[in-house]
Amino acid sequence: MSGSAAEPVTQAELEVADTVGRLMEFWGFKRPMGRIWTLLYLSPTPLGAAELGEQLKMSAGAVSMTLSELVKWGAVKKSWRPGERRDFYEAETSIGKLVQRVLRERELELVRQFEDALTNAEAALPHESSSPDFKRARVHELQRLAKLGETLLTALVAGKVVDPAPILKVYAK
C-alpha cells in the first residue's frame, strides 16, 4: 500500500486549505495550488504526493502537475527522507518572499507588457485634426499610470517605503 500511514488530516485542516485555495484563486493561481501548499504548510513533516492526493481527493496526475507548478514558483521544496525512494515535499514558509517573487516575476512583467502595447498602439494612432490631440493625450495618461504602477511595484519588491500620495494626487483629484 502507498501512503495510508499518514495522520488523518482533520476536517478543519481541509477547510483552512480550501480557504487559502480560494484566496490563491483570486490572486490568479489555481485553487489546487493553494490547497496543497496549505496542507504542507500545516504539516510538521514533509508529505508525499500519494498522501496529498488521498487527503484532497485528487488524482495522481493532478497532484503531480500542481506540485511542479508550486515548485516552479518556489512555494514548495522537494524534501527527502533517507531510505524512502519517493519524493517528499514541504512548504516554503516565508510568505513574504513568495509575494515578492510573484510581484517581481508576474505583476511587474505584466505592467511592462502593458506599457509596450500602449507604445505600439500610440505609434499607430492617426494624428487628429483637433489641436490638442484628444486620443493621444488620453493614451499618454494611461502610459503615465503604467509608469506609476511600475514604480510602486519596484519599490514594494525592493522593500522600500511606499508613498501612494502621488497616485491619488494625480489620478483621484
Residues that bind DNA (CB under 7 A): 2, 30-32, 48-50, 57-62, 64-65, 67-68, 85-87
Q: Of 109, 99, 104, nearest to 23 (Cα)?
A: 99
109 binds a copy of itself (CB under 8 A): no
Q: Of 53, 141, 132, nearest to 89 (Cα)?
A: 53
Q: Under 8 Å CB-to-CB from 107, ≥6 apart: which residues?
A: 153
Q: What angle do CA 11, 16, 17 make, to 5 degrees?
A: 95
Torsion angles phi and psi, residue 39, rounded to 5: -60, -40
Q: Find out whether 103 and 156 touch, Cβ atoms under 8 Å.
A: yes
Task: Choose the one of a copy of itself, DNA, none that binds residue 50, judging by a C-beta under 5 to 8 angstroms depending on kind.
Answer: DNA
Q: Find out whether 49 and 86 touch, Cβ atoms under 8 Å.
A: yes
Is 23 or 60 the residue whose CB approaches DNA more closely? 60
Chain positions 6 to 45 lying near a copy of itself, rule: CB under 8 A, are 10-13, 15-16, 19-20, 23, 26, 28, 41-42, 44
Q: Under 8 Å CB-to-CB from 50, ≥6 apart: which residues?
A: 2, 3, 60, 86
5 binds a copy of itself (CB under 8 A): no
Shortest Å, Cβ 132 to DNA: 29
Shortest Å, Cβ 83 to DNA: 8
139 binds a copy of itself (CB under 8 A): yes
Task: Choose the one of DNA, a copy of itself, none that binds residue 48, judging by a C-beta under 5 to 8 angstroms depending on kind.
Answer: DNA
Shortest Å, Cβ 153 to DNA: 24
Torsion of CA 165, 107, 104, 23, to 10 degrees: 100
Site of interaction with a copy of itself (CB under 8 A): 10-13, 15-16, 19-20, 23, 26, 28, 41-42, 44, 93-97, 99-100, 110, 114, 117-118, 120-122, 124-126, 130, 134-135, 138-139, 141-142, 145, 155-156, 159-165, 167-168, 170-173
